């Protein structure tokens, strides 16, 4: 009987020692949470068909690596049309510039004016002579009419030649050139914009990270902005944890936190990057002084170094950690 009592006492002592040595950490020491990530959902700029997919789920990419390419068939056609229009406008500008106030052209027009004036001088003299002869009864009325028609015709020719000479010396030609050059400049800007749109169809990784998922495959139509690839940069991994109201003053933004989990290394750390300004209930309870410890605040800590390799969703525990000493650094 004494032997049985001895073993019972020994067993109770062992339980007490175990409870003291391995008792769970109190809320004052540890905050529970899980690993979360701010994922980048990357999609095309325009609605199109996926032409090529360069990555798969789990792939590690660097900034600037190709992710996927959208079809450019329609954009290529539009670019060809824009190029053809530029060639047409360039020829138009050259023609207008070639016709502007060239001395040899003005000389030709001036010579035409002089010929028209000489013809008018002769037709006027002929008309005066025919009118005098008609008055004396030496010619028929038809001869006078023909001379009057010739004079009228030559007067019109002189007016037209004079207008052509004046027009060649007017500033309106320079305005035509400015308008043609403006149209050409606009067409070139449209071609540049088209080239940018085509270049954007090849989507590159905006940051280093791991591809979390792929939502579309080659041949499928994707709307503008609809994600094709989900990418998680390492700096976007964080721990989301909850702090009770009484413990909230014990953490602050920028504070270093140690992260622990089953089977993880001991040197995992992060820094508090967010503390909610509004409290929430977990689980929901009715507010009372007695239940205030159940009011919690959501907080987040950005993972650093090796801690960024923790998988999403992993349960972890975090607690304040001292800053590393200069020797440790």
**What pLDDT does 134 receive?**
82
> Which among 50-54, 265-269, 312-316, 317-321 has the top mean pLDDT?
50-54
Q: What is the pLDDT of residues 47-66, one digit of tens each?
A: 999 999 999 999 999 999 99
In the predicted model, is pLDDT for residue 11 greater than 70? no
Contact yes or no for 298/238 (Cβ under 8 A): no
- Phi-psi map region of 297: left, alpha, beta (phi>0 left; psi -120 to 50 alpha): beta
State the Cα–Cα distance between residues 269 and 307, nearest whole angstrom. 6
Question: Is the per-residue pLDDT at 310 higher than 60?
Answer: yes
318 or 168, which is more confident?
318
- In eight-state DSSP terms, residue 310 is S
Alpha helices in 169-200 (DSSP H): 172-200
Please list the residue range(s) of the chain that carry CATH number 2.40.30.170.
24-37+234-320
pLDDT for position 170 = 62
% helix / strand / coil in the chain, to the nearest 5? 45, 25, 30
Q: Which whole-number Å values give the CA distances from 68 to 43, 72, 198, 202, 207, in the listed order?
A: 9, 13, 13, 6, 15
pLDDT of residue 173: 65
* pLDDT tens sequence across 86-97: 999 998 888 877
Q: What is the pLDDT of residues 214-238, one digit of tens each?
A: 999 999 999 999 999 999 999 999 9
| pLDDT surpasses 70 at 302 | yes
Q: What is the pLDDT of residues 117-157, one digit of tens each?
A: 898 899 899 888 888 888 888 888 888 888 889 889 989 99
Choose which CATH entry (2.40.30.170, 2.60.40.420, 1.20.140.10, 3.40.50.261) describes domain 24-37+234-320: 2.40.30.170
Query: What is the pTM (predicted TM-score) of this model?
Result: 0.63
Q: What is the mean pLDDT of the segment spanning 251-269?
A: 91
313, pLDDT greater than 80: yes
- At a CB cut-off of 8 Å and minimum separation 6, what does 28 contact? 247, 250
Q: What is the pLDDT of residues 93-128, one digit of tens each?
A: 888 777 665 666 777 888 888 898 898 899 899 888
Residue 6 is predicted with a pLDDT of 44
Give mean pLDDT, residues 317-321: 92
Q: What is the arithmetic mean of pLDDT over 263-267?
A: 86
293 confidence band (pLDDT: 50, 70, 90): low
Query: Who wins on pLDDT, 27 or 59?
Result: 59
Task: Find residue 296's DSSP bridge partners.
Answer: 244, 280
The reported pLDDT for the residue numbered 209 is 95
The better pLDDT of the pair 272, 295 is held by: 272
DSSP letter assigned to residue 294: G
Residue 185 confidence class, pLDDT cut points 50, 70, 90:
very high
Topology of the domain comprising 41-72+198-232: OB fold (Dihydrolipoamide Acetyltransferase, E2P) (2.40.50)
For CA atoms 46, 204, 307, 323, give the dihedral sign: negative
Residue-wise pLDDT tens digits, 243-252: 888 888 889 9
Helix (H) and strand (E) counts for the chain?
A: 5, 15
**CATH 2.40.50.100 residue ranges in the chain?**
41-72+198-232
The pLDDT value given to residue 284? 45
pLDDT at 17: 37
Residue 70 has pLDDT above 80, yes or no: yes
Confidence check: pLDDT of 3 > 80: no
């Amino acid at each position: 009987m004494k032997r049985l009592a001895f073993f019972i006492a020994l067993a109770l002592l062992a339980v007490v020692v175990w409870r003291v040595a391995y008792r769970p950490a109190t809320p004052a020491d540890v905050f529970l949470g899980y690993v979360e990530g701010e994922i980048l959902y990357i999609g095309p700029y325009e609605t199109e068909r996926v032409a090529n997919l360069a990555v798969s789920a789990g792939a590690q990419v660097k900034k600037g690596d190709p992710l996927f390419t959208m079809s450019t068939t329609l954009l290529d056609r539009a670019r060809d049309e824009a190029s053809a229009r530029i060639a047409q406008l360039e020829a138009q500008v050259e023609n207008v510039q070639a016709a502007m106030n060239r001395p040899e052209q003005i000389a030709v027009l001036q010579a035409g004016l002089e010929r028209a004036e000489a013809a008018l001088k002769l037709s006027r003299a002929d008309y005066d002579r025919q009118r005098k002869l008609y008055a004396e009864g030496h010619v028929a009325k038809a001869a006078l009419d023909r001379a009057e028609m010739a004079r009228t015709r030559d007067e019109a020719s002189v007016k037209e030649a004079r207008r052509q000479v004046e027009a060649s010396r007017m500033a309106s030609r320079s305005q035509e050139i400015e308008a043609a050059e403006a149209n050409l400049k606009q067409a070139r800007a449209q071609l540049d914009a088209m080239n940018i749109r085509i270049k954007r169809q090849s989507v590159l990784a905006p940051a280093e990270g791991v591809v979390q998922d792929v939502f579309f495959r080659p041949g499928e139509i994707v709307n503008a902005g609809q994600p094709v690839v989900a990418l998680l940069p390492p700096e976007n991994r964080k721990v989301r944890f909850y702090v009770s109201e009484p413990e909230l003053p014990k953490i602050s933004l920028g504070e270093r936190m140690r992260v622990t989990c089953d089977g993880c290394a001991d040197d995992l750390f992060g820094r508090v990057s967010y503390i909610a300004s509004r409290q929430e209930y977990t689980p929901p309870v009715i507010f009372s002084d007695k239940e205030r410890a159940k009011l919690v605040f959501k907080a987040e800590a950005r993972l650093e170094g090796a801690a960024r390799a923790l998988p999403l969703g992993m349960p972890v525990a975090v607690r304040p950690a001292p800053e590393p000493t200069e020797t440790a650094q």
